[in-house]
Amino acid sequence: MIYLHQNSGFLRIICITPILMMLTLFLSARTTSGSALYVKNEFLIESNIFEDSTKTQALGSQLWFGLSHHYLSNRQTLSLKLVSNLAYYNQHPTENKSVNMLTIQYRYSFLHKLSFQTALDIYNKQWYQNNNGYTSNRCNSGFAYVGQKNTLFIGGEYQYHRFPHFKYFTSDYSGLFVHFQHRLSEKSFLALKSSWYSIRYADRVIAYTPGADSLNLPFQKDEMITYQIGIEKRKNPILGLQLRYMINRSNSPGSSFQAGACRFFTSQKIIGIYTHLIVDLQLKKYTENLDRVVILSNPDPEQNIQNQILLGWDKPLNKHFSIQGKIAYIHNETVYSRIFYDKCFAAIGLMYTLH
């Protein structure tokens, strides 16, 4: 189910209306389509499954299921992607959970170079024994211009993060974004991105400070601005580098910060094995140096990737089966600001793919 804040206003309208329009258009259009699915079972070992100072180690298994489908017509493109994951830990059943991700993307071309694009992402995570979970929805819409060397995409975005059992974390984001991409060569691209968000917390008053009226504290509101530049080479080996700068201003003491981040990624085929490497680094500085920690916006620290090194590999066995593996080291903030956790994990599994 998609939950939307009752006061989301204009951005909610421009995001949801196109989803309904595209279904109507496709009912009357002649289309071609294609599908793909995969199933993967993997075993893993983790050094810190609770992402805290206990550093609890555990063995586990995960079952993955993925389904994708696309429709094409003369002017329209519609793609659907569903990914589900079931995680099981025999010795720590409180960490047993399911994750479901749905992505819908639609594009309608008005002219040869001008198109309307919209996308909807739904992310749901549910822990079984704790009867706990949350849902994050994101919808963006905008207009894209695609030239011979340059691409420009301008639009608006709305997000709603719902935590039924911890309403303190429920929030919505309304914002605008600009993406620009320049083709440097046939396989190399330069990308620029800027975005602005207004963030509201429906049930979180600002942190109390001495001298404030504790009975009339306002709800927390943030303003976030991001700038990003990246370069990518889409040829074996695939290489990419992204730099990002983020500013978050909040009316709640201790929640304002600035952060600079860097991501490097590469992918290549070596002796019949597809390898992937991702390195994320982030430096974060809080504006106010309080003598106490502050609870962050998301109580699920494993989704808030800040620093990581991840190496993955994929060895095809035949047309349908492949062996996959990955190892990673993660260094992220916990639920509390300025307090970090370390985590290592390794996994190996067998995947079946059908096109």
Give the DSSP per-residue string, 237-295.
Answer: SEEEEEEEEEEEEESSTT--EEEEEEEEEEEEEETTEEEEEEEEEEEEEESS--SS--B
Q: Which residues pair with 187 in a beta bridge?
A: none
Selection from 306, 316, 323 nearest residue 261 by Cα: 306
- DSSP-derived letter for residue 13 is H
The answer to whether 38 and 352 are in contact (CB under 8 A) is: yes
Q: Give CA–CA dist 12/4, Å, rounded.
A: 8
Q: Which residues pair with 335 in a beta bridge?
A: none
- Going from N- to C-terminal start, the domains of the chain cover 10-354
Selection from 280, 170, 274 nearest residue 219 by Cα: 170
pLDDT tens for 74-130 read 889 999 999 999 999 989 998 999 999 999 999 999 888 999 999 999 999 999 887
Both tokens of residue 353?
A: 């793919």
Tell me the average pLDDT of the chain.
88
CATH code of the region 10-354: 2.40.160
Both tokens of residue 298?
A: 């998301």
Residues contacting 253, CB < 8 A, separation 6+: 206, 207, 209, 288, 290, 294
User: What is the CA 114 to chain-centroid distance, rounded?
Assistant: 27
Which pLDDT belongs to residue 51?
85
3-state SS, residue 14 = helix
Which pLDDT belongs to residue 115?
96
Share in percent of the chain as helix, strand, coil (round to 5): 10, 65, 30
3-state SS, residue 12 = helix
Which pLDDT belongs to residue 1?
37
Residues contacting 147, CB < 8 A, separation 6+: 113
Three-state SS string over 143-195 comes to: EEEECCCEEEEEEEEEEEEECCCCHHHCEEEEEEEEEEEEECCCCEEEEEEEE
Q: Which residue numbers in the chain have pLDDT < 50?
A: 1-8, 10, 27
Q: Give CA–CA dist 65/68, Å, rounded.
A: 10
Residues contacting 207, CB < 8 A, separation 6+: 252, 253, 254, 255, 294
